[in-house]
Structures are given as structure tokens and as C-alpha cells.
Amino acid sequence: ARAPVASGLRRGDRRARGVARARPPTAPRVYASICGIDLGTTNSCVAVVIDGRPVLVPDEKGRRTIPSVVHFAPDGSVTVGHAAAKRLTRDPANTFHSVKRFIGKRFKDKKVAEDARRVPYEVCATVEADAEAMGLVGLGPSKNGAGFVAVRCPALGRKVSPEEISAAIVKRCVALASAKLGGELITKAVITVPAYFDDGQCDATIRAGRRAGLETVKLLREPIAAALAYGVDVTGDETVFVFDLGGGTFDVSVLDVGGGAVEVLATGGDAHLGGDDLDRAVAVWLAKEAKLMGATVDPRGALQAARRAREKLSDATEVVVPMPGGSTKTLTRPLLEKVCSEILRDLRLPVENAADSAGINLEALQAESRSKKSSKKSRKTGRPFDHVLLVGGATKTPAVRRFVENTFGRRPTPGLVDPDEVVALGAAAHAGALEGLVAQTETLGPMQASLIRAFARKMRNEDESLFERVRDDAEGVERGGAF
């Protein structure tokens, strides 16, 4: 048979010559008015389910992630995403990023003071007078809405809550999803949150979704979303490491998967470590190299060049970086690993702590990997694990992948999904499950999952034919919340 000349066209087909022909009727596409949103610290993205399959939604220019940045103008207009990110240097006091670090937190939280020093805008506390405008009535120890984190927006002449800023990002994601579905009104969403988010942070995320116009907001833990997107067999019995290195944060989680349930065994990470740190390390190296040449570099330009070089090394083995005065420097993968060695070392402790909490002996696994499964008896590794899942754009960096392989004693689990998009796709998969479009998976709290899995094992041991999955009737689902 001859190859088609275009989609659905064969050579000689009258349509290929510009003549219209009647097309046979096709089955309507099946979708629901719900989307999955990865509401990230640095970037966000959204996905929908079409014909039983999660599909990532790009913006009007084909960009598949949205910077989690919001700008407010004096006339009240709101700019979100790429356009807002361009105003970070021009109008830093009214351009807000990384608000996920503040959402649902009390101002007196020790980490808030540290995070506040890292942003160019003013971080402040809510008072009772702010409660109604910010939707905080009845919240807080005194039930008066006071003491939560807010930011001061000079352009609007008032305080703005992290929920309001996050709502603008959610609204943008929902608008893109709606356009993807032909203008379908979307009233429901699954929004992902880190495994370590407490009830206050989860409730604040739900409030952000509702401020964006959503009627129903369900939350899903980010590592669980990743496992769903990678296609981990939730009916099996597996232990999964989720290694999530984003632009500005690092999270590691250990999941116990089986019997249709997913339990978060352990979490760890560093809220101030990510791909941006790798870029800064490369920028410092470029500045030093320029100094040796008797030249100077613009810090902002060096950072942009560093980011481009690091991203290119995801595919190329080396990249030529233009330097001041018309000269160049070549950055190779081994050199990148050397330049970023301190950052990579900082990733190790959170991984080891999470593994230890989950009863996994990483040193023994590394030794076993080095011996290449020799006949010698190896040390006990404790709980075995089956997968290492990579999440976040920074995990595309070869130096990071090599670190993961050396640390875990095995290669990361291959997947057909982009690490930047995996959480949103998992959220959409769960959204589809809630609507009955894809197979359902139960996502439980630690105590619920432990009880259900213990019960399941007991039933299997007594009589394999008696085992059945136990449904989740937890109050966390009742309040819309943190799965």
C-alpha cells in the first residue's frame, strides 16, 4: 500500500487536489467538564481527559507550562504567566511569584520570615479588617482571619492574599482547558499539592480554586499524581520513589502502592533547592571564566545563558556558550556535573532521610549495584523498591539523572511523559477517574491506607478469593480535600 500524502489522504485522492468530498461520520470525542492542574511554585500546567486519555493543554503559542507569576496594574487589570514574568524586573513590587510558599501559612511561622527575605515584594500579616475581603472570616485561632500571610500590592493600594494570586493562575489554567474542550464550561478541577502540605495549606488551595470560579475542587498529592501518570500498577504491590526537582523546590516521596491504594510512606526535600540553583552555579562559572579573559558579564545575561546551556545539554553532549568580546566557552556534560557538584551533594541528604524513614537501605542498594549482582551475599537492603520516578524540568539534566542512578543504585523508570508535565497529567487521570472516564484508584491518608492494606493482606492470606478492595470514606474526601 502506498504511504498517505497527508493525514487520512492517499495518492490520487480528490481531496489532495483541493476537491472536497463527503467525510464518513466519526464518533464524538468523549470528555468531561473537569481538568487537572499542577499548581507549581515556579511553573504550572493543566491537562484534560479526552477519549479516556489525559492530554496536556498548551497555551495559545504552544508553550506547555505557565510561569506561576501574577502582575497587578493600578487599573485593576491582572496579567498571568509569561507576560507577567516579563515584569518581574520592571515592576517587582506588584509582580508576585513563589506564593505557593506562603499559601495557608501563619505570618509567625519561622519559615515565612526566611521566604520573605527571598522575594522582592512586601510580605505582611492579615488583620481582622482584611478577613471579609480575603475570605478569611471564621479562620485562624481567634476565628477573625488575622495573622495569616498576605502581600502588599502598591498598585491596588491594599493587601492581597496568596489565595487571590493563586486563583488568578488557576483561572488562567481553566480558561486554557475550556478552550481545548471547545469552550466547554469547566466547573470542577483536581489540583495537586505537595505531600507535606498540612490541612491549612490544603484548605487555602481549595479556597483559591473556588475564588477562580470552580464549584468543586479536589486535591491530589503530587507524588501520587506522578505515579498515576507514569502508569504504575496500583493493583500490584510496589514501593515507589518520586524524585521531584523543580525550578525552586526539591521534594522526594516514598509511596507504597497496592490493592488499588496509594500510601505516602515518607517525604523529604528542600524548599529552596532546584534547577534555578544549577543555573546560578553555571552562571558563576561563566563569570569566573570571563574574568580570566579580562572581561565582565552582565549577571542577568549570564544567568540566561547558563539556563539555555543547561537545557541544551539535556540532548547534546556539549554546548558552545558565547562570551563577551566574541569568544566562546564549551560546556560539556562532565564539566556541568563538576560545576554543579555542591548542588548535587545537597540533594543527597533529603533522599537518604526519606529512604531511612521508609526502611530502605540505600547504601546496600548502591553496593549491590556496584557488584553487578555478583554471587557474593549482599547486605540486607530492608524494604525493596520498584521504581524511581522523575518529576520536574530539572530532572532532564544529565548530571541530575546520573546522580539519581548513583544514589538509588538503579536507573530511573522510563516514561513516555515529560517530567515537566507528569503531575498535571496525573491530576487529569484522577479527574477522569472521578468522572468515570478512566479506571478509579483510591488515594488515602497514611492511617487509612495502612489499615486497608493490612486488611487486604490478611484476607489474601486467609483466602485469595475473598479479597476485595475497601472503599475510601474518609473525612478528607468529605471536605473536598487532601487525598
pLDDT at position 262: 86
Instruction: Give percent of the chain above pLDDT 90.
Output: 62
Same domain, 127 and 178: yes
Q: Does residue 328 lie within any of the structural domains?
A: yes
Same domain, 113 and 249: no
pLDDT at position 445: 54
Q: Does residue 475 lie within any of the structural domains?
A: no
What confidence tens digit (pLDDT) does each residue in 66-113 have?
999 999 999 999 999 999 999 999 999 999 999 999 999 999 999 999
User: In whole angstroms, what is the distance from residue 41 CA to residue 226 CA?
Assistant: 16
Same domain, 85 and 183: yes
pLDDT at position 439: 66
Q: Does residue 2 lie within any of the structural domains?
A: no
Q: Provide mean pLDDT across the span 204-211.
A: 97
Whether the predicted pLDDT of 322 surpasses 60? yes
Q: Which string of DSSP letters, residue by residue, matches 360-373? A: B-HHHHHHHHHTTS
Question: What is the layout of strands, in order, in the sheet containing 261-270?
Answer: 387-391, 237-245, 250-258, 261-270, 442-443
Alpha-carbon distance values, 378 to 201, 240, 241, 361, 367 (Å) = 43, 22, 22, 12, 8
- pTM of the prediction? 0.82
Whether the predicted pLDDT of 185 surpasses 60? yes
User: In whole angstroms, what is the distance from residue 77 CA to residue 335 CA?
Assistant: 45
Q: Provide mean pLDDT across the span 39-57.
A: 95
Whether the predicted pLDDT of 431 surpasses 80? yes
Strand partners, 241: 254, 388
Which CATH number characterizes residue 372's domain? 3.30.420.40
Q: Does residue 327 lie within any of the structural domains?
A: yes
Q: Which string of DSSP letters, residue by residue, matches 60-107? A: TTS---EESEEEE-TTS-EEETHHHHTTTTTSGGGEEE-GGGTTT-BT
Domain that holds residue 374: 233-272+348-414+442-466
Same domain, 257 and 303: no
Amino acid, res. 191: I
Asked if 213 contacts 207 with a C-beta cutoff of 8 angstroms, the reply is: no
Strand partners, 443: 262
Contacts 24+ apart (CB under 8 A), 115-123: 115/271, 118/272, 120/88, 120/92, 120/93, 121/92, 121/93, 121/94, 121/95, 121/96, 121/151, 121/152, 121/153, 122/93, 122/151, 122/152, 123/149, 123/150, 123/151, 123/152
- Of residues 128 and 69, more confidently modeled: 69
Whether the predicted pLDDT of 260 surpasses 70? yes
Asked if 333 contacts 313 with a C-beta cutoff of 8 angstroms, the reply is: yes
Alpha-carbon distance values, 456 to 232, 236, 452 (Å) = 19, 12, 6
Choose one of 296, 325, 342: the last residue of a domain: 342
Mean pLDDT of the chain: 84
What confidence tens digit (pLDDT) does each residue in 208-257 have?
999 999 999 999 999 999 999 998 877 778 899 999 999 999 999 999 98
Q: Does residue 27 lie within any of the structural domains?
A: no
Q: Provide mean pLDDT across the span 168-193.
A: 97
Which CATH number characterizes residue 293's domain? 3.90.640.10
Same domain, 352 and 266: yes
What confidence tens digit (pLDDT) does each residue in 359-376 have?
998 887 777 766 655 555
Q: How confident is the model at residue 144 (pLDDT cuts 50, 70, 90)?
A: confident
- Containing 158, the helix (H) or strand (E) segment is strand 158-160
Same domain, 243 and 372: yes
Same domain, 250 and 332: no
Q: How confident is the model at residue 438 (pLDDT cuts 50, 70, 90)?
A: confident
Q: Does residue 151 lie within any of the structural domains?
A: yes
Asked if 66 contacts 58 with a C-beta cutoff of 8 angstroms, the reply is: no
Q: How confident is the model at residue 442 (pLDDT cuts 50, 70, 90)?
A: low
Same domain, 69 and 143: yes
Same domain, 288 and 263: no
Whether the predicted pLDDT of 450 surpasses 70? no
Amino acid, res. 83: A
Q: How confident is the model at residue 63 (pLDDT cuts 50, 70, 90)?
A: very high
Q: Provide mean pLDDT across the span 332-351.
A: 96
Q: Quick check: helix, strand or coil at residue 141? A: coil
User: In whole angstroms, what is the distance from residue 46 CA to residue 474 CA?
Assistant: 27
Asked if 116 contacts 107 with a C-beta cutoff of 8 angstroms, the reply is: no
Same domain, 100 and 173: yes
Instruction: Give percent of the chain above pLDDT 70.
Output: 81
Amino acid, res. 377: K
Same domain, 48 and 101: yes
Same domain, 68 and 98: yes
> Strands 188-193, 318-322: parallel, antiparallel or unpaired by DSSP?
unpaired
> Strands 188-193, 34-38: parallel, antiparallel or unpaired by DSSP?
parallel
Q: Does residue 455 lie within any of the structural domains?
A: yes
pLDDT at position 204: 97
Q: How confident is the model at residue 1 (pLDDT cuts 50, 70, 90)?
A: very low
Q: Does residue 426 lie within any of the structural domains?
A: no
What is the total count of domains within the chain?
3
- Containing 384, the helix (H) or strand (E) segment is none
Highest mean pLDDT among 16-30, 148-162, 298-312, 446-460: 148-162
Backbone angles phi, psi at 255, to 5 degrees: -110, 145
What confidence tens digit (pLDDT) does each residue in 451-475 have?
555 555 554 454 443 333 333 333 3
